[in-house]
A and B are shown apart, each in its own frame.
Chain A
């Protein structure tokens, strides 16, 4: 079945460091891909998405490119801030058409130190 694998954390970086969180997926069709973020004490919120191959999603300085050839959707940011400390989840939509329930990776906890 469809699945998502993302790098395990925790990841600890200094402010202004470069961030990469790897995400690969297995899917039989053409899923949409998402990164969700969960800040401490808050609910899950969408960070960015890409709906077809070679699309690049971007938001708040974060980027991820939908790579069908490598089945990957790695999250990157050039210069992280303390406020980026959160848990990041890679996800894909399961089943085409009218459903779209999400399959999530295990999550990667990011801590950014000043």
Chain B
């Protein structure tokens, strides 16, 4: 079946612009995670959605970052007023159930470059 998909695969934007990154999780998966992969910081957790519960935003690095998940499926990560340090690969993952022992399935990522 279809895996996690993300779009766009690459995004180049100018400093100060807003960007939206999209994630389509595996159908039926209730848990959705966003991570960021950068050379300096490695892989970092950003935000977690589980069903209709309030999201866990504890990993968001600043208030320029926000995310939503509509209808319990597709998620959008928005970065406002982008900065050069936001350049990274943004990864989305989904899991059939939220929980520490459940496998997370990762999408291919969106490579964001802020010039």
Contact = CB atoms under 8 A, between A and B. Distances in A.
B72 interface: no
B102 A100 contact: yes
Contacts of A25: none
A101 B101 contact: no
Contacts, number: 69
Given A99-B50, A104-B43, A42 B108 contact: yes
Interface residues of B, number: 28
A40 to B, nearest CB: 13
Given A98-B99, A99-B98, A100-B100, A43 B50 contact: no
Given A94-B45, A96-B100, A97-B99, 11 more contacts: A36-B106, A43-B108, A44-B91, A44-B106, A45-B106, A98-B50, A100-B31, A100-B101, A101-B33, A101-B59, A105-B42
B104 interface: yes
Nearest to A52: B101
Nearest to B6: A43
Interface in A81-114: 89, 91, 93-107
A102 B4 CA distance: 17
A22 interface: no
25 contacts: A32-B100, A32-B101, A36-B106, A42-B108, A43-B106, A44-B91, A44-B93, A46-B105, A49-B103, A51-B100, A51-B101, A93-B101, A97-B99, A99-B50, A99-B100, A100-B99, A100-B100, A100-B104, A101-B45, A101-B48, A102-B45, A104-B42, A104-B44, A105-B42, A106-B42
